Structure 1
Amino acid sequence: MSQVGKFNNLEVVNEVPFGFYLDAGDKGQILLPTKNAPLGCKLGDMVNAFIYHDSDDRLIATIRRPKVFVDHCAYLKVVSITKVGVFLDWGLEKDLLVPFSEQDYPMSEGVSYVVYVFCDEETGRLAASTKLKDFLYEESCDEGGTFEEKQEVELLICGQTDMGYKAIIDGSHLGLIFRDEVFQPIKIGHSMKGFIKRIREDGKIDLCFQFHDPTARNTLEEQIIEDLIAHDGLSTLTDKSSADEISRRFKVSKNVYKKAIGSLFRQKRILLDKTKITLVKK
Protein backbone atom coordinates (compact mmCIF):
# COMPACT_ATOMS: atom_id res chain seq x y z
CA MET A 1 0.00 0.00 0.00
CA SER A 2 1.44 3.38 -1.03
CA GLN A 3 1.55 6.22 1.49
CA VAL A 4 1.14 9.96 0.98
CA GLY A 5 3.97 11.98 2.50
CA LYS A 6 6.55 9.21 2.17
CA PHE A 7 8.77 7.60 -0.45
CA ASN A 8 7.24 4.56 -2.14
CA ASN A 9 8.82 2.02 -4.49
CA LEU A 10 6.43 2.12 -7.48
CA GLU A 11 6.43 0.60 -10.97
CA VAL A 12 6.28 2.70 -14.14
CA VAL A 13 3.20 1.41 -16.01
CA ASN A 14 2.59 4.10 -18.62
CA GLU A 15 4.58 6.73 -20.46
CA VAL A 16 3.12 10.00 -21.79
CA PRO A 17 4.73 13.04 -23.44
CA PHE A 18 4.85 14.94 -20.13
CA GLY A 19 5.97 12.14 -17.84
CA PHE A 20 5.27 8.67 -16.49
CA TYR A 21 2.44 7.04 -14.58
CA LEU A 22 3.28 4.95 -11.53
CA ASP A 23 1.17 2.11 -10.15
CA ALA A 24 0.26 3.25 -6.63
CA GLY A 25 -2.05 0.33 -5.86
CA ASP A 26 -5.17 1.47 -4.01
CA LYS A 27 -4.43 5.07 -5.01
CA GLY A 28 -4.47 4.28 -8.72
CA GLN A 29 -1.94 5.61 -11.20
CA ILE A 30 0.02 8.69 -10.14
CA LEU A 31 1.82 11.05 -12.50
CA LEU A 32 5.58 11.42 -12.23
CA PRO A 33 6.38 14.52 -14.37
CA THR A 34 9.42 14.22 -16.63
CA LYS A 35 11.26 16.99 -14.76
CA ASN A 36 10.81 15.09 -11.49
CA ALA A 37 11.74 11.65 -12.88
CA PRO A 38 15.14 9.89 -12.86
CA LEU A 39 17.21 10.05 -16.05
CA GLY A 40 16.56 7.14 -18.39
CA CYS A 41 13.24 6.29 -16.76
CA LYS A 42 11.21 3.76 -18.80
CA LEU A 43 8.30 1.34 -18.64
CA GLY A 44 8.75 -1.43 -16.10
CA ASP A 45 11.24 0.49 -13.96
CA MET A 46 10.75 0.65 -10.20
CA VAL A 47 11.01 4.24 -8.98
CA ASN A 48 11.40 5.35 -5.37
CA ALA A 49 9.09 8.36 -5.42
CA PHE A 50 7.61 10.74 -2.87
CA ILE A 51 3.83 11.19 -3.10
CA TYR A 52 1.94 14.39 -2.26
CA HIS A 53 -0.86 16.60 -3.65
CA ASP A 54 -0.15 19.23 -6.31
CA SER A 55 -1.72 22.69 -6.59
CA ASP A 56 -4.86 21.16 -8.11
CA ASP A 57 -5.13 18.69 -5.19
CA ARG A 58 -4.19 15.74 -7.41
CA LEU A 59 -1.74 13.12 -6.19
CA ILE A 60 1.64 13.58 -7.84
CA ALA A 61 5.05 11.92 -7.52
CA THR A 62 8.61 13.22 -7.44
CA ILE A 63 12.08 11.88 -6.75
CA ARG A 64 12.98 15.19 -5.11
CA ARG A 65 13.49 14.86 -1.36
CA PRO A 66 11.36 17.20 0.78
CA LYS A 67 12.67 18.76 3.99
CA VAL A 68 10.25 16.70 6.09
CA PHE A 69 8.04 13.61 5.84
CA VAL A 70 4.58 12.97 7.24
CA ASP A 71 4.47 12.32 11.02
CA HIS A 72 7.78 14.17 11.48
CA CYS A 73 8.81 17.61 12.73
CA ALA A 74 10.92 20.22 10.97
CA TYR A 75 11.95 23.86 11.14
CA LEU A 76 10.43 25.55 8.08
CA LYS A 77 10.08 29.11 6.79
CA VAL A 78 6.79 30.85 5.98
CA VAL A 79 6.81 31.99 2.35
CA SER A 80 3.27 33.35 2.03
CA ILE A 81 0.09 34.08 3.96
CA THR A 82 -3.33 33.50 2.36
CA LYS A 83 -6.99 33.44 3.40
CA VAL A 84 -6.75 29.72 4.27
CA GLY A 85 -3.51 29.84 6.26
CA VAL A 86 0.23 30.19 5.79
CA PHE A 87 2.44 28.25 3.40
CA LEU A 88 5.87 26.85 4.23
CA ASP A 89 8.85 26.08 2.03
CA TRP A 90 9.47 22.34 2.40
CA GLY A 91 11.56 21.86 -0.72
CA LEU A 92 8.84 20.90 -3.22
CA GLU A 93 7.01 22.86 -5.92
CA LYS A 94 3.79 23.15 -3.93
CA ASP A 95 4.34 24.76 -0.54
CA LEU A 96 3.05 23.13 2.65
CA LEU A 97 -0.08 24.58 4.25
CA VAL A 98 -0.50 25.42 7.94
CA PRO A 99 -4.27 26.12 8.29
CA PHE A 100 -5.19 28.91 10.69
CA SER A 101 -6.87 26.28 12.87
CA GLU A 102 -3.47 24.55 13.30
CA GLN A 103 -1.60 27.67 14.38
CA ASP A 104 -0.84 27.86 18.10
CA TYR A 105 0.00 31.55 17.60
CA PRO A 106 -0.02 33.97 14.62
CA MET A 107 2.71 33.19 12.10
CA SER A 108 4.62 35.81 10.08
CA GLU A 109 6.01 35.71 6.56
CA GLY A 110 9.76 35.20 6.38
CA VAL A 111 9.94 33.64 9.86
CA SER A 112 10.72 29.96 10.48
CA TYR A 113 8.79 27.72 12.89
CA VAL A 114 8.99 24.16 14.18
CA VAL A 115 5.97 22.28 12.82
CA TYR A 116 4.57 18.76 12.80
CA VAL A 117 3.47 17.36 9.42
CA PHE A 118 0.32 15.24 9.38
CA CYS A 119 -2.14 13.76 6.92
CA ASP A 120 -5.63 15.21 7.25
CA GLU A 121 -8.06 12.33 7.83
CA GLU A 122 -10.92 13.98 5.95
CA THR A 123 -9.10 15.16 2.82
CA GLY A 124 -6.06 12.87 2.74
CA ARG A 125 -3.88 15.92 2.11
CA LEU A 126 -0.70 16.81 3.96
CA ALA A 127 -0.67 19.81 6.28
CA ALA A 128 1.45 21.16 9.10
CA SER A 129 0.74 22.36 12.62
CA THR A 130 2.51 24.37 15.32
CA LYS A 131 0.24 22.75 17.94
CA LEU A 132 2.93 20.23 18.84
CA LYS A 133 1.18 19.04 22.00
CA ASP A 134 -1.64 17.65 19.84
CA PHE A 135 0.77 15.26 18.10
CA LEU A 136 3.65 14.58 20.49
CA TYR A 137 3.77 12.85 23.89
CA GLU A 138 4.56 14.84 27.02
CA GLU A 139 5.10 11.92 29.40
CA SER A 140 7.73 9.17 29.23
CA CYS A 141 5.22 6.44 30.07
CA ASP A 142 2.94 7.27 27.12
CA GLU A 143 2.48 4.64 24.43
CA GLY A 144 5.00 6.44 22.24
CA GLY A 145 7.83 4.84 24.20
CA THR A 146 9.69 4.94 27.49
CA PHE A 147 12.94 6.75 28.21
CA GLU A 148 15.57 6.12 30.86
CA GLU A 149 17.71 8.60 32.77
CA LYS A 150 21.08 9.31 31.12
CA GLN A 151 19.79 7.95 27.79
CA GLU A 152 21.25 9.82 24.79
CA VAL A 153 18.58 11.30 22.51
CA GLU A 154 18.21 13.55 19.48
CA LEU A 155 16.72 16.96 20.26
CA LEU A 156 15.04 19.61 18.14
CA ILE A 157 14.70 22.91 20.01
CA CYS A 158 11.11 24.02 19.45
CA GLY A 159 10.27 26.77 21.95
CA GLN A 160 11.32 28.92 24.86
CA THR A 161 9.77 29.53 28.28
CA ASP A 162 10.73 31.44 31.43
CA MET A 163 12.26 28.20 32.76
CA GLY A 164 14.29 27.28 29.69
CA TYR A 165 13.86 25.65 26.29
CA LYS A 166 11.33 23.14 25.04
CA ALA A 167 12.66 20.37 22.82
CA ILE A 168 11.29 17.51 20.74
CA ILE A 169 12.88 14.22 21.82
CA ASP A 170 13.60 11.63 19.10
CA GLY A 171 10.70 13.08 17.10
CA SER A 172 8.07 11.70 19.49
CA HIS A 173 8.09 13.44 22.89
CA LEU A 174 8.38 16.91 24.38
CA GLY A 175 10.83 17.77 27.15
CA LEU A 176 12.35 20.76 28.94
CA ILE A 177 15.94 21.98 29.24
CA PHE A 178 16.27 24.29 32.25
CA ARG A 179 18.28 27.47 31.72
CA ASP A 180 21.03 26.44 34.13
CA GLU A 181 21.65 23.35 31.94
CA VAL A 182 22.36 25.49 28.88
CA PHE A 183 26.08 26.10 28.42
CA GLN A 184 26.19 26.73 24.66
CA PRO A 185 24.33 29.08 22.30
CA ILE A 186 21.10 27.44 21.16
CA LYS A 187 18.19 28.68 19.09
CA ILE A 188 14.77 27.44 18.11
CA GLY A 189 15.21 25.08 15.17
CA HIS A 190 18.60 23.76 16.30
CA SER A 191 19.06 19.98 16.19
CA MET A 192 21.54 18.48 18.65
CA LYS A 193 22.26 15.52 20.88
CA GLY A 194 21.22 15.58 24.52
CA PHE A 195 20.38 13.34 27.46
CA ILE A 196 17.38 12.44 29.58
CA LYS A 197 18.25 14.09 32.89
CA ARG A 198 15.28 12.84 34.90
CA ILE A 199 11.73 11.53 34.58
CA ARG A 200 9.55 13.47 37.00
CA GLU A 201 6.82 11.86 39.11
CA ASP A 202 4.19 13.18 36.71
CA GLY A 203 6.04 11.58 33.78
CA LYS A 204 7.32 14.87 32.37
CA ILE A 205 10.85 14.76 30.95
CA ASP A 206 13.77 17.01 31.93
CA LEU A 207 16.75 17.18 29.60
CA CYS A 208 20.42 18.17 29.72
CA PHE A 209 23.37 18.36 27.35
CA GLN A 210 25.92 16.48 29.43
CA PHE A 211 26.37 14.35 32.52
CA HIS A 212 29.29 14.75 34.86
CA ASP A 213 30.40 11.78 36.91
CA PRO A 214 32.74 12.30 39.91
CA THR A 215 35.80 11.72 37.71
CA ALA A 216 34.70 14.42 35.27
CA ARG A 217 34.00 16.82 38.14
CA ASN A 218 37.45 16.20 39.59
CA THR A 219 38.92 17.01 36.18
CA LEU A 220 36.95 20.27 36.09
CA GLU A 221 38.17 21.15 39.59
CA GLU A 222 41.77 20.75 38.45
CA GLN A 223 41.05 22.91 35.39
CA ILE A 224 39.72 25.63 37.70
CA ILE A 225 42.84 25.41 39.89
CA GLU A 226 45.09 25.61 36.82
CA ASP A 227 43.15 28.61 35.58
CA LEU A 228 43.60 30.33 38.94
CA ILE A 229 47.35 29.65 38.94
CA ALA A 230 47.60 31.08 35.41
CA HIS A 231 45.85 34.28 36.61
CA ASP A 232 47.90 34.94 39.76
CA GLY A 233 45.45 33.09 42.00
CA LEU A 234 42.41 35.24 41.19
CA SER A 235 39.33 34.77 39.04
CA THR A 236 36.22 36.89 38.62
CA LEU A 237 34.31 33.90 37.23
CA THR A 238 32.11 33.15 40.26
CA ASP A 239 28.83 31.34 40.77
CA LYS A 240 27.19 34.72 40.03
CA SER A 241 28.70 34.87 36.53
CA SER A 242 26.54 34.25 33.48
CA ALA A 243 26.15 30.80 31.95
CA ASP A 244 27.65 32.13 28.70
CA GLU A 245 30.85 33.30 30.45
CA ILE A 246 31.24 29.95 32.20
CA SER A 247 30.60 28.04 28.98
CA ARG A 248 33.20 30.04 27.05
CA ARG A 249 35.85 29.36 29.71
CA PHE A 250 35.19 25.76 30.73
CA LYS A 251 32.61 24.34 28.25
CA VAL A 252 30.24 23.27 31.06
CA SER A 253 26.88 24.42 32.38
CA LYS A 254 26.62 26.94 35.19
CA ASN A 255 25.16 24.28 37.47
CA VAL A 256 28.13 21.94 36.94
CA TYR A 257 30.59 24.82 37.49
CA LYS A 258 28.88 25.82 40.75
CA LYS A 259 29.19 22.24 42.05
CA ALA A 260 32.89 22.14 41.18
CA ILE A 261 33.77 25.41 42.93
CA GLY A 262 31.60 24.39 45.88
CA SER A 263 33.65 21.22 46.18
CA LEU A 264 36.92 23.18 45.99
CA PHE A 265 35.66 25.55 48.70
CA ARG A 266 34.80 22.64 51.01
CA GLN A 267 38.28 21.25 50.38
CA LYS A 268 39.61 24.68 51.47
CA ARG A 269 41.49 25.05 48.18
CA ILE A 270 39.75 28.33 47.28
CA LEU A 271 38.06 31.29 48.95
CA LEU A 272 34.76 32.62 47.61
CA ASP A 273 33.05 35.96 47.72
CA LYS A 274 30.50 37.70 45.48
CA THR A 275 33.03 39.13 43.03
CA LYS A 276 35.99 36.77 42.90
CA ILE A 277 37.55 33.39 43.63
CA THR A 278 40.92 33.33 45.36
CA LEU A 279 43.34 30.41 45.35
CA VAL A 280 44.40 29.35 48.83
CA LYS A 281 48.19 29.37 49.02
CA LYS A 282 49.77 26.34 50.61
Structure 2
Amino acid sequence: MLHLGDYNYLEILRDLEHGLYLGSDDGDVLLPRKYVPAGVQPGDMISVFVYRDSEDRLIATTLEPKAKVDQFACLQVRDLTDFGAFMEWGLEKDLFVPYKNQHEPLHVGQWALVYVYLDENSDRLVGATKLAPYLNYDAMPPQEGDEVNILIGPEKALGYQVMVNNGFLGMLYRNEVFRKLEPGELTKGFVKKVREDNRLDVSLQKQGYDEVEQAAENILARLQAEGGQLPLSDKSAPEEIYRQLAMSKKTFKKAIGALYKRGDVQLFPDHLSLSQKD
Protein backbone atom coordinates (compact mmCIF):
# COMPACT_ATOMS: atom_id res chain seq x y z
CA MET A 1 0.00 0.00 0.00
CA LEU A 2 1.31 3.43 -0.94
CA HIS A 3 1.81 6.00 1.80
CA LEU A 4 0.74 9.26 0.18
CA GLY A 5 2.69 12.23 1.46
CA ASP A 6 5.52 10.06 2.75
CA TYR A 7 8.56 8.16 1.54
CA ASN A 8 7.99 4.77 -0.07
CA TYR A 9 10.51 2.06 -0.96
CA LEU A 10 9.46 0.85 -4.39
CA GLU A 11 10.80 -1.44 -7.12
CA ILE A 12 11.70 -0.06 -10.54
CA LEU A 13 9.59 -1.93 -13.09
CA ARG A 14 10.28 -0.17 -16.41
CA ASP A 15 12.67 2.44 -17.75
CA LEU A 16 11.00 4.55 -20.45
CA GLU A 17 11.95 7.78 -22.19
CA HIS A 18 9.95 10.02 -19.86
CA GLY A 19 10.98 8.29 -16.62
CA LEU A 20 10.78 5.18 -14.49
CA TYR A 21 7.65 3.30 -13.56
CA LEU A 22 7.67 2.02 -9.99
CA GLY A 23 5.50 -0.82 -8.74
CA SER A 24 3.04 -0.60 -5.84
CA ASP A 25 -0.12 -2.30 -4.60
CA ASP A 26 -2.03 0.81 -5.73
CA GLY A 27 -0.72 0.70 -9.29
CA ASP A 28 2.36 1.91 -11.11
CA VAL A 29 3.83 5.27 -10.12
CA LEU A 30 5.85 7.49 -12.45
CA LEU A 31 9.20 8.90 -11.38
CA PRO A 32 9.85 11.62 -14.02
CA ARG A 33 13.18 11.45 -15.82
CA LYS A 34 14.52 14.65 -14.21
CA TYR A 35 14.33 13.00 -10.75
CA VAL A 36 15.95 9.68 -11.70
CA PRO A 37 19.25 9.06 -9.86
CA ALA A 38 22.22 7.99 -11.94
CA GLY A 39 22.94 4.29 -12.19
CA VAL A 40 19.55 2.83 -11.23
CA GLN A 41 17.88 0.17 -13.38
CA PRO A 42 14.81 -2.11 -13.44
CA GLY A 43 14.78 -4.47 -10.49
CA ASP A 44 16.40 -1.95 -8.13
CA MET A 45 14.55 -0.65 -5.08
CA ILE A 46 14.42 3.12 -4.63
CA SER A 47 13.19 5.48 -1.91
CA VAL A 48 10.82 8.17 -3.25
CA PHE A 49 8.32 10.67 -1.92
CA VAL A 50 4.84 10.06 -3.37
CA TYR A 51 2.13 12.70 -3.84
CA ARG A 52 -0.35 13.84 -6.50
CA ASP A 53 0.62 16.21 -9.31
CA SER A 54 -1.46 19.12 -10.64
CA GLU A 55 -3.60 16.65 -12.60
CA ASP A 56 -4.18 14.43 -9.53
CA ARG A 57 -1.96 11.64 -10.84
CA LEU A 58 0.22 9.71 -8.41
CA ILE A 59 3.77 10.91 -8.90
CA ALA A 60 7.10 10.08 -7.28
CA THR A 61 10.05 12.38 -6.66
CA THR A 62 13.50 12.22 -5.14
CA LEU A 63 13.15 15.84 -3.98
CA GLU A 64 12.76 16.27 -0.22
CA PRO A 65 9.72 18.27 0.93
CA LYS A 66 9.96 20.48 4.00
CA ALA A 67 7.37 18.30 5.74
CA LYS A 68 5.71 14.92 5.32
CA VAL A 69 2.07 14.14 6.00
CA ASP A 70 1.07 14.74 9.66
CA GLN A 71 4.00 17.06 10.24
CA PHE A 72 4.38 20.79 10.81
CA ALA A 73 6.55 23.08 8.67
CA CYS A 74 7.23 26.79 8.37
CA LEU A 75 6.41 27.69 4.78
CA GLN A 76 6.28 30.83 2.66
CA VAL A 77 3.29 31.87 0.56
CA ARG A 78 4.14 31.81 -3.14
CA ASP A 79 0.76 32.64 -4.67
CA LEU A 80 -2.90 33.38 -3.89
CA THR A 81 -6.06 32.33 -5.73
CA ASP A 82 -9.78 32.76 -5.18
CA PHE A 83 -9.75 29.49 -3.25
CA GLY A 84 -6.69 29.77 -1.03
CA ALA A 85 -2.92 30.09 -0.83
CA PHE A 86 -0.11 28.06 -2.34
CA MET A 87 2.93 27.50 -0.13
CA GLU A 88 6.43 26.64 -1.33
CA TRP A 89 7.43 23.36 0.36
CA GLY A 90 10.30 22.01 -1.71
CA LEU A 91 8.34 20.15 -4.40
CA GLU A 92 7.38 21.10 -7.94
CA LYS A 93 3.73 21.33 -6.94
CA ASP A 94 3.10 23.84 -4.14
CA LEU A 95 1.10 22.92 -1.04
CA PHE A 96 -2.47 24.26 -1.13
CA VAL A 97 -3.95 25.89 1.99
CA PRO A 98 -7.70 26.52 1.44
CA TYR A 99 -9.20 29.69 2.90
CA LYS A 100 -11.25 27.59 5.32
CA ASN A 101 -7.98 26.21 6.76
CA GLN A 102 -6.36 29.61 7.31
CA HIS A 103 -6.14 31.04 10.84
CA GLU A 104 -5.97 34.50 9.27
CA PRO A 105 -5.81 35.60 5.63
CA LEU A 106 -2.37 34.90 4.16
CA HIS A 107 -0.46 37.18 1.80
CA VAL A 108 2.29 36.56 -0.74
CA GLY A 109 5.72 36.36 0.87
CA GLN A 110 4.37 35.65 4.35
CA TRP A 111 5.84 32.86 6.49
CA ALA A 112 3.47 30.69 8.52
CA LEU A 113 3.46 27.48 10.51
CA VAL A 114 1.52 24.91 8.49
CA TYR A 115 0.26 21.42 9.29
CA VAL A 116 0.31 18.98 6.36
CA TYR A 117 -2.43 16.35 6.21
CA LEU A 118 -4.19 14.06 3.74
CA ASP A 119 -7.69 15.25 2.95
CA GLU A 120 -9.93 12.16 3.02
CA ASN A 121 -12.48 13.57 0.58
CA SER A 122 -10.08 14.58 -2.19
CA ASP A 123 -7.19 12.22 -1.35
CA ARG A 124 -4.87 15.22 -1.74
CA LEU A 125 -2.22 16.64 0.53
CA VAL A 126 -3.31 20.02 1.89
CA GLY A 127 -2.13 22.41 4.57
CA ALA A 128 -3.71 24.26 7.47
CA THR A 129 -2.57 27.28 9.48
CA LYS A 130 -5.42 26.68 11.94
CA LEU A 131 -3.12 24.62 14.15
CA ALA A 132 -5.26 23.94 17.21
CA PRO A 133 -6.92 20.73 15.90
CA TYR A 134 -3.51 19.18 15.25
CA LEU A 135 -1.66 20.03 18.47
CA ASN A 136 -0.78 17.26 20.88
CA TYR A 137 -3.21 17.85 23.77
CA ASP A 138 -3.37 14.22 24.87
CA ALA A 139 0.31 13.63 25.54
CA MET A 140 2.20 15.00 28.53
CA PRO A 141 4.07 18.10 27.32
CA PRO A 142 7.82 18.40 27.84
CA GLN A 143 8.63 19.68 31.32
CA GLU A 144 10.65 22.69 32.42
CA GLY A 145 14.34 22.16 31.70
CA ASP A 146 13.76 19.39 29.13
CA GLU A 147 15.77 19.52 25.92
CA VAL A 148 13.44 19.67 22.91
CA ASN A 149 13.43 19.93 19.12
CA ILE A 150 12.33 23.36 17.94
CA LEU A 151 11.02 24.36 14.52
CA ILE A 152 11.44 28.12 14.07
CA GLY A 153 8.25 29.75 12.83
CA PRO A 154 7.35 33.30 11.81
CA GLU A 155 8.51 36.31 13.78
CA LYS A 156 5.80 37.93 15.91
CA ALA A 157 5.67 41.03 18.13
CA LEU A 158 7.14 39.24 21.16
CA GLY A 159 9.52 36.90 19.36
CA TYR A 160 9.35 33.74 17.27
CA GLN A 161 6.38 31.41 17.15
CA VAL A 162 7.78 27.88 17.29
CA MET A 163 6.67 24.28 17.08
CA VAL A 164 8.12 22.00 19.75
CA ASN A 165 8.59 18.25 19.20
CA ASN A 166 6.16 18.36 16.25
CA GLY A 167 3.13 18.74 18.50
CA PHE A 168 3.33 21.65 20.93
CA LEU A 169 3.05 25.33 20.10
CA GLY A 170 5.55 27.62 21.79
CA MET A 171 7.16 31.04 21.93
CA LEU A 172 10.84 31.99 21.80
CA TYR A 173 11.04 35.52 23.15
CA ARG A 174 13.00 38.15 21.24
CA ASN A 175 15.09 39.25 24.24
CA GLU A 176 16.53 35.72 24.52
CA VAL A 177 17.64 35.40 20.89
CA PHE A 178 21.27 36.27 20.24
CA ARG A 179 21.75 35.04 16.69
CA LYS A 180 19.97 35.22 13.37
CA LEU A 181 17.17 32.68 13.03
CA GLU A 182 15.64 31.55 9.76
CA PRO A 183 12.00 30.51 9.30
CA GLY A 184 11.88 26.74 9.03
CA GLU A 185 15.17 26.25 10.87
CA LEU A 186 15.36 23.17 13.09
CA THR A 187 17.36 23.53 16.29
CA LYS A 188 17.67 22.24 19.84
CA GLY A 189 16.28 24.20 22.78
CA PHE A 190 15.02 23.97 26.32
CA VAL A 191 11.61 24.39 27.95
CA LYS A 192 11.39 27.42 30.26
CA LYS A 193 7.71 27.25 31.20
CA VAL A 194 4.69 25.06 30.54
CA ARG A 195 1.49 27.09 30.32
CA GLU A 196 -1.96 25.88 31.35
CA ASP A 197 -2.98 25.33 27.72
CA ASN A 198 0.12 23.15 27.12
CA ARG A 199 1.81 25.95 25.19
CA LEU A 200 5.48 26.34 25.95
CA ASP A 201 7.95 29.14 26.53
CA VAL A 202 11.31 27.96 25.24
CA SER A 203 14.91 29.12 25.16
CA LEU A 204 17.93 28.24 23.04
CA GLN A 205 20.05 27.99 26.20
CA LYS A 206 19.77 25.97 29.38
CA GLN A 207 18.42 27.85 32.36
CA GLY A 208 19.81 28.32 35.86
CA TYR A 209 22.84 26.71 37.50
CA ASP A 210 23.19 23.92 34.95
CA GLU A 211 23.38 26.51 32.18
CA VAL A 212 26.21 28.39 33.90
CA GLU A 213 28.16 25.23 34.64
CA GLN A 214 27.90 24.07 31.04
CA ALA A 215 28.84 27.53 29.78
CA ALA A 216 31.91 27.58 32.05
CA GLU A 217 33.07 24.22 30.69
CA ASN A 218 32.54 25.44 27.12
CA ILE A 219 34.62 28.57 27.79
CA LEU A 220 37.45 26.50 29.28
CA ALA A 221 37.43 24.16 26.29
CA ARG A 222 37.50 27.10 23.88
CA LEU A 223 40.36 28.76 25.79
CA GLN A 224 42.39 25.56 25.62
CA ALA A 225 41.70 25.22 21.90
CA GLU A 226 42.74 28.85 21.27
CA GLY A 227 46.05 28.66 23.12
CA GLY A 228 44.80 30.03 26.42
CA GLN A 229 43.31 33.37 25.38
CA LEU A 230 40.04 34.77 23.96
CA PRO A 231 39.40 38.37 22.81
CA LEU A 232 36.28 38.61 24.99
CA SER A 233 35.49 40.39 28.24
CA ASP A 234 32.48 41.61 30.20
CA LYS A 235 32.65 44.72 27.98
CA SER A 236 32.23 42.76 24.74
CA ALA A 237 29.11 43.21 22.64
CA PRO A 238 26.41 40.53 23.14
CA GLU A 239 26.48 39.75 19.41
CA GLU A 240 30.23 39.06 19.48
CA ILE A 241 29.92 36.82 22.53
CA TYR A 242 27.17 34.83 20.87
CA ARG A 243 29.09 34.63 17.59
CA GLN A 244 32.11 33.13 19.29
CA LEU A 245 30.55 31.07 22.10
CA ALA A 246 26.83 30.68 21.26
CA MET A 247 25.72 32.01 24.65
CA SER A 248 24.11 35.16 25.94
CA LYS A 249 26.17 37.93 27.54
CA LYS A 250 24.35 37.35 30.82
CA THR A 251 25.35 33.68 30.86
CA PHE A 252 28.90 34.54 29.75
CA LYS A 253 29.38 36.98 32.63
CA LYS A 254 28.07 34.46 35.17
CA ALA A 255 30.30 31.74 33.75
CA ILE A 256 33.53 33.79 33.72
CA GLY A 257 32.69 34.99 37.24
CA ALA A 258 32.48 31.38 38.40
CA LEU A 259 35.71 30.50 36.59
CA TYR A 260 37.50 33.50 38.14
CA LYS A 261 36.40 32.51 41.65
CA ARG A 262 37.75 29.00 41.02
CA GLY A 263 41.03 30.47 39.85
CA ASP A 264 40.71 29.00 36.36
CA VAL A 265 40.84 32.28 34.41
CA GLN A 266 42.23 35.78 34.52
CA LEU A 267 40.06 38.72 33.49
CA PHE A 268 41.37 41.69 31.52
CA PRO A 269 39.62 44.73 30.00
CA ASP A 270 39.87 43.36 26.45
CA HIS A 271 40.44 39.64 26.80
CA LEU A 272 40.14 36.49 28.88
CA SER A 273 42.96 34.06 29.54
CA LEU A 274 43.66 30.83 31.37
CA SER A 275 45.33 31.20 34.76
CA GLN A 276 48.93 30.11 35.00
CA LYS A 277 48.82 27.43 37.69
CA ASP A 278 51.78 25.70 39.30
TM-score by length of 1: 0.69
Which amino acid in structure 1 is aligned with residue 208 of structure 2?
H
Larger radius of gyration: 1
In the TM superposition, what is the alpha-carbon distance from 1:92 to its structure 2 partner?
A: 1.8
Q: Distance in 1 between matches of 2:211 and 2:165?
A: 29
In the TM superposition, what is the alpha-carbon distance from 1:114 to its structure 2 partner?
A: 2.3
Deviations 1:216-272 (A, max 9, x none): 29x99xxxxxxxxx99xxx9xxxxxxxxx8676785387x79xx7xxxxxxxxxxxx
- In structure 2, which of residues 177, 188, 193 is the aligned counterpart of residue 193 of structure 1? 188
Taking only the aligned residue pairs, the percentage that are identical comes to: 37
Deviations 1:94-131 (A, max 9, x none): 12111111111111123332212111121221111111
Instruction: Tell whether 2:116 aligns with 1:117.
Output: yes
- Change in Cα spacing, 1:194 to 1:37, as seen in structure 2 (3 Å) is same
- Change in Cα spacing, 1:81 to 1:204, as seen in structure 2 (3 Å) is closer
Q: Distance in 2 between matches of 1:115 and 1:215?
A: 32
Q: Distance in 2 between matches of 1:89 and 1:96?
A: 6
Instruction: Tell whether 2:162 aligns with 1:171.
Output: no
Contact 1:12/1:44 (8 A) holds in 2? yes
The gaps in structure 2 that reach 5 residues or longer are: 217-232, 255-278
Which amino acid in structure 2 is aligned with residue 73 of structure 1?
F
- Change in Cα spacing, 1:164 to 1:92, as seen in structure 2 (3 Å) is closer
- Change in Cα spacing, 1:34 to 1:101, as seen in structure 2 (3 Å) is same
Q: Distance in 2 between matches of 1:113 and 1:89?
A: 11
Which amino acid in structure 2 is aligned with residue 36 of structure 1?
Y
SS at match of 2:208: coil
Give the alignment's Cα RMSD to 1 decimal.
3.5
- Change in Cα spacing, 1:109 to 1:56, as seen in structure 2 (3 Å) is same
- 1:238 alignment partner in structure 2: none
In the TM superposition, what is the alpha-carbon distance from 1:177 to its structure 2 partner?
A: 3.5
Q: Distance in 1 between matches of 2:156 and 2:91?
A: 33
Contact 1:181/1:253 (8 A) holds in 2? no
Q: Distance in 2 between matches of 1:111 and 1:215?
A: 35
Aligned residues: 236
- Change in Cα spacing, 1:130 to 1:203, as seen in structure 2 (3 Å) is closer
Q: Distance in 2 between matches of 1:196 and 1:107?
A: 30
- Change in Cα spacing, 1:63 to 1:212, as seen in structure 2 (3 Å) is same
- In structure 1, which of residues 139, 148, 163 is the aligned counterpart of residue 143 of structure 2? 148
The gaps in structure 1 that reach 5 residues or longer are: 221-229, 236-244, 261-282
Which amino acid in structure 1 is aligned with residue 8 of structure 2?
N
Contact 1:113/1:189 (8 A) holds in 2? no
TM-score by length of 2: 0.70
SS at match of 2:12: strand
Instruction: Tell whether 2:53 aligns with 1:57.
Output: no
Deviations 1:144-195 (A, max 9, x none): x542321111212335666554321021211234555445555654443211
